Structures are given as C-alpha cells and as structure tokens.
C-alpha cells in the first residue's frame, strides 16, 4: 500500500471513529444548550486528534506486518492535482452547506445550537467526501 492511500485510509477510519462517538453523544441534540454544544465540539476535536494518532500508529503497524514495506511518499504533479481537486470538492461542499444553513437560520428560524451542530456536521461530511474522492482518484 502506498503512502497516499494509507493516509486516506487513516483519515476515513478516524472519521468513522469520531462519527460513531459523536452519534452516541448527540442523542438529545435538540435540548442541548449553546455552552454544552461548545463543550461537545471541543471534546470532539480532541477525540479526533487522539483517534488520528492512534489510528496512524495501528494502521502503520498492521500494514507493515501484512504488506511488508510501505512505499515512500513520492509526490508528483498528479498527486498535487488530486489533492487540489479534493480540496476544491471539500470547499464547494462545505460552502454550499454553509449557505443552506444560513438560509435556514434566516428564513426558518433555525436555532443557534442546531446551526452550530449542523455547520460542524457539514464540515465533517465534506471532509469525508473529499477523502472518498481522493481514494477514488488514487486507484
């Protein structure tokens, strides 16, 4: 497995881990206060960092044991183009979600707590979609 695919795999597994943790934390998200939402999002960022470090260590060991050596990270123009296209897709997806959320806040009286959580989930979904696109383009 080359280094690019390994990094995307680590990112997707981390996203799945954090998504599962967040899903179980948001059982009553409509009744959360704004300060509770802020605390939840800060915890989520911390858990994401720790999960990424642990997943990097575990996947590097597993890939090393199963597949032997990991190819060195060689970046060429194709890799740079893939990274830029994925970043563009993430930006477009998040921007569209943000505009929709702002419209819902203005016209449908979406609460601040719901808007904050929805912005976070929109960012999360855009990053997962970008990673899936990278995985598709690296094949």
Encode the chain (139 residues) as per-residue pLDDT tens digits: 677 888 889 999 999 999 898 888 877 666 777 788 888 889 989 999 999 999 999 988 888 888 776 667 677 888 889 889 999 999 999 999 999 999 988 888 888 888 888 898 899 999 999 999 998 988 7
Spatial CA neighbour of 40 closest among 100, 117, 137: 117
Spatial CA neighbour of 9 closest among 45, 51, 68, 59: 59
- Is residue 70 a contact partner of residue 64, using CB atoms and an 8 Å limit? yes
Domain that holds residue 60: 3-137
Q: What pLDDT score does 95 carry?
A: 95
- Is residue 14 a contact partner of residue 58, using CB atoms and an 8 Å limit? no
Start-end of H helices in 26-111? 34-67, 77-108
Structural domains of the chain, count: 1
């Amino acid at each position: 497995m080359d280094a690019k695919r390994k990094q995307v795999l680590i990112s997707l597994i981390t996203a799945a881990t954090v998504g599962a943790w967040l899903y179980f934390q948001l059982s009553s998200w409509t009744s959360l206060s704004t300060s509770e939402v802020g605390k939840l999002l800060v915890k989520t960022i911390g858990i994401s960092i720790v999960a990424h470090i642990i997943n990097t260590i575990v996947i590097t060991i597993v890939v090393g044991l199963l597949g032997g050596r990991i190819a060195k990270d060689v970046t060429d123009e194709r890799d740079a183009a893939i990274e830029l296209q994925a970043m563009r897709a993430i930006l477009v997806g998040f921007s569209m979600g943000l505009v929709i959320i702002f419209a819902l806040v203005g016209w449908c009286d979406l609460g601040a707590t719901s808007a904050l959580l929805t912005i976070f989930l929109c960012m999360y979904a855009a990053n997962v979609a970008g990673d899936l696109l990278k995985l598709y383009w690296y094949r």
